[in-house]
Amino acid sequence: MTYDYVVVGGGTAGSLIAGKLAEAGATVLVLEAGGSDRNPLIQMPAGFVKLLGVEKYMWFYQSTVQQRLGGRQPVVPTGRVVGGGSSVNAMVYIRGQATDYDAWVEATDDTGWSWPELLKRFKAMEGNNRFNNDLHGVEGPMAVSDPVHLCELSRAYVMAAQAAGIPFTPDFNGPRQAGTGFVQMNTKDGRRVSAADAFLHPARKTGRLEVLTGSLVHRILTANGRATGVEYSRDGKVATAQAGREVVLCAGSIATPKVLMLSGIGPHFHLKETGIPTLVDLDGVGQNLQDHTEVPVLSFCNGPYGYFGQDRGWNQIRNGLQYLLFKTGPVASNGVEACSFFNPDDLSAEAKIQQFCVPSVYLEPGTTDLKPTWGLTINSCVLRPGSRGSVRLTSDDPRQQPLVDPNYFEDPEDLRLSIGGVRQARRILAQTPLKGMIDREIFPGPGKDSDEAIAEHAKKFVKTVYHPVGTARMGREDDPRAVVTPDLRVKGIDGLRVADASVMPTIISGNTNSTTLVIADKAVSFMLQR
């Protein structure tokens, strides 16, 4: 069957694009490798924690050996479900700093990617339950709301951060990002609102939208220099889908370059060694991988503070009933209710670190045999990492995972800023009222105060913040490293666009989901101009 558009990936970007195209009168097929998003745990804000380690809902990409991390191979997970990351993330609503987008204008020579222009789209899609001003909208389909539940550790963290010199801010998406406070989330009435909830599912009523889950796209089909459809497998059978207008890649910053290269679109030298004939020689495909990383400071509490044990026994029953009856309580929390943005070198300057307050003991599996208990984890994330990695194929078999090299700490500045984040976390832990709730620091641990000791800790425990971007970056037509043009068309082939986080030339300062939605919204505008 032929559709107007075939959208590869039903995640954050794919949900918006497919929904808006169908609402505009086009016929759309969405091919999503994962399954349905109708698991009740997805709808509960706290439920995603139970899904982060579940293969049914996540891709787990094993990174290549990271020499700067002592040979570690951290896992880079991404969403594998309708709604993608927006169905399994912590729902934190952050748009980055206005100056982030200056680099996008510089890369594209297109002021349409400037902050003032993108702000119009942020506002139009936003349905905020507190702010209604020049920076926020209230009538959009993407709900944004304050936390329904705040635990005592989150409150104590924000108060202690102020005592440590970080001023309180009521709005991380306000005139200035820097400050400490409570996050807003993509929730409404205590329930997650994913991109699928906001855009994809409402468009099903048009009768012009079809979503096929469990569909792994193998490659783009082409004829006479134009994308005509895709080949995919579903239920063990290989099939094709035809696109009368365009194929739109929205598979994310790891799978999108994989599909491009499997289709012969990528660096000729790499395609040749993988045995794939080159259709379009594009050096930038799979390059420019950027990701936010975080380094933890972990402490045990001296009492039953935070969320340890809230999902067990009587607590689980009580909390579950409270949520089902009133949509309140711990189940209505995203588990990351408070954070800070700051520059560890100068607290009065624009932020270079985003610090998350996690009211529990939270470390990556396999990094320690520490037993869970009441505790607090403060994670410091470098907002604009200088390190650049890559995505490469292992073979021409689409069922094989690609080689993901995040190249963490390639840029020494990333490590230096991480050390500064650890030091600021310790200063916060030493302030009232938080210090009265802390028993002792576990990691990095007592006596580990030198830059060298903290660097060793950072290399051992650094992890992804689940924000890979940049592997099919946009740029000027004459930029040899750009994969897509400013209107998101893949260079050298007609009828093919990329519209997900992989097109970001540089990562934004904060959680990437809302910016990915704006990229998708721009893509729809480009497609409907025809």
Catalytic residues: 467
Q: Give, to the nearest 10 degrees, the angle between helix 152-163 and helix 412-429.
A: 100
Instruction: Report which of 292, 295, 288 is spatially closest to residue 465, judged by C-alpha positions.
Output: 292
How far, in Å, CA of 172 to CA of 174, rounded? Answer: 5
Structure tokens at 411: 């840029």
How far, in Å, CA of 464 to CA of 62, rounded? Answer: 12
Contact 384, 506 (CB under 8 A): yes
How far, in Å, CA of 423 to CA of 441, rounded? Answer: 13
- What is the three-class DSSP state of 121? helix
How far, in Å, CA of 253 to CA of 413, rounded? Answer: 24
Structure tokens at 211: 């979503």
Tell me the pairing of strands 75-79 and 58-62: antiparallel
Beta bridge partners of 525: none
Angle CA 469–471–473, to nearest 5: 90
CA distances from 445 to 303, 398, 426 (A): 19, 44, 11
